[in-house]
Amino acid sequence: MNGVLHDYIQRGIESKIAESLVEVPVTAILGPRQCGKTTLARKMAASHLPGEVVYLDLERLSDQRKLADPEWFLSRQSGKLVVLDEVQRIPELFAVLRVLADDPERRFHFLVLGSASPELLRQSSESLAGRIRYHELTPLLRQECRASLITNFEQQWVRGGFPGSLLARSESASLAWRESFTQTFLEKDVAQLGIGSSPELLGRLWRMLAHHHGQMLNTAALGQALGVSHTTARKYVGILAQSFMLRLLLPLEANFGKRLVKTPKVYIRDAGILHSLLEIGNMNGLQGHPVIGASWEGWCIEQLCAALPGWRPSFCRTSNGEEVDFVLERGGRRLAFEFKVSISPQLTRGCVTVLGDVAPEHTWIVCPIAKGWEMRQGVSVASLDETLDAVVSR
C-alpha cells in the first residue's frame, strides 16, 4: 500500500475523503471499475505510517479466505485503516462493519471501495446510516486533467475519462481498452452483482441507448425493440444507471403555467464509452457522426455535475418542444446552460422563452471554443473550461 505512485493525477475529492476518514468510522468510495478507486485509496493510505494500513482485495481468493470469520479478523485491526476493495463481492461484511463501527472508543476505521452504487449495495447489506459517508469517484474530470497539464480537451472528449483509455499511447489502443472494458463489464462485473441479468440482452440495450444518447427515455419502445416487457427494459436501465454507466436526467420541477415534459433524458455517462459503443474511434469520426451534438452535451453535463456536486441537475422542456438543455439548482438559485457544437452559437426563440420562465441568475452557452464572450446581459458564450471556472467561483 505504501509503494511509489507513478503518473498520479490528483483527484478533486481527496480532501473530502480525508475528512471522512477522520469524522466517520466507514468511508466509501464508489464508482465504475477502472476509474481509479484503488489508486486513490493507495494515495490516501500513503499518508498513514507503515503498518497502519491493511489492504484486502476481495476479488483475490487469498484475501477472501482471511475473512472466513470476518468479525474475528477485522476486530484484530484496532487502530489501523482497513481498506476493503470491491466490497460488493461480500455484502454480508456490512453487518460486521456496523458492529465494529459502533465501538465506543472508535478504534476501527474502514475505507471501502465498490463498483456499485449505494442503492445496489443497500439491497444486500445492513444499513450503516450515521456510520458511513459515501463519495462517488468519476472517471477523470476536465478540471483534474487541467490541473495535471492534460490540456487537449478534444482528446479527453473523444476518449472519455477512464485512465486506461485517456492515457493510452494511441487512438487505437484507447478504443481497444474501452471495448475490452465494456465486454468485461457485461460478462463479469454485472454477474458479480448477483441481480440476475442477461449479459447479451444488457449489451444490446446499452448499444441502443448509445443511439438514444441525450434523448427522452422510452422504456416501452426499448422493450419492444428488444423483445422484452417494458418492466424488464426498465430494470436493465436501472442496472446500468446504478452501475454508473447511465445518467437519467430528470425534468425540472416547476410551475410555469405551461405543460412541461416529465420524462427523463438518458445519457451514457462517459463520453469515451459512448463513442466506443457507436464505434467512433477519433475526432474525425465524431465530427462526421450525428451524435456529436448530444455527445458534447453529455460530456459537459458530467463535468458540471461533478463541479457542483451539491446542486440538483435537471432540464426543462415544454410540450411544444421549447427547451433549456441543463439547469442546476440549489437553495433557490438557478444556473442554466445550453450546449452548442458551434463557434457562432445562437439561442432559439423557444429557448429564450423558456429561459424567461426559468429565470436563472446566469446562462452559459457552452461551445468547443478557445475564448468566449458576453452575448447579452446575463448570457455568456464560453468554452467548457471558462464555464467550469465561472460556476465554481460563484
What φ, ψ does residue 55 adopt, rounded to 5°?
Answer: -115, 125
Q: Where are the alpha helices (DSSP H) in the chain?
A: 14-23, 37-45, 61-66, 70-75, 93-101, 118-123, 142-147, 153-159, 163-166, 171-184, 190-192, 199-211, 219-226, 230-242, 271-277, 283-287, 292-307, 349-358, 384-393
Whether residue 215 is found in the same domain as residue 346: yes
Whether residue 235 is found in the same domain as residue 327: yes
Q: Average pLDDT, stretch 39-52?
A: 79
Q: Which of 106-120, 176-190, 207-221, 360-374 has the lowest mean pLDDT?
A: 106-120
Tell whether 106 is covered by a domain: yes
Is residue 47 scored above 80 in pLDDT? no
Q: Which of 4-13, 22-31, 316-325 has the lowest mean pLDDT?
A: 4-13
Tell whether 258 is covered by a domain: yes
Domain that holds residue 65: 14-136
SS3 content of the chain, % helix, strand, coil (to 5): 45, 20, 40
Tell whether 162 is covered by a domain: yes
Could you read off the pLDDT of 162-208 as tens digits, one per residue? 999 999 999 999 999 999 999 999 988 777 666 667 888 999 999 99
> What angle do the packed helices 37-45 and 14-23 form, to 10 degrees?
60
Q: State which of 136, 155, 179 marks the end of a domain.
A: 136
Number of folded domains in the chain? 2
Whether residue 246 is found in the same domain as residue 303: yes
Whether residue 72 is found in the same domain as residue 203: no
Reported pTM: 0.92
Q: Average pLDDT, stretch 4-17?
A: 78
Q: State which of 98, 113, 136 marks the end of a domain.
A: 136
Would you say 155 and 164 are in contact if contact means Cβ atoms under 8 Å apart? no
pLDDT grade for 150, boundaries at 50, 70 and 90: confident
pLDDT at 315: 97
Q: Average pLDDT, stretch 207-218?
A: 97
Tell whether 59 is covered by a domain: yes
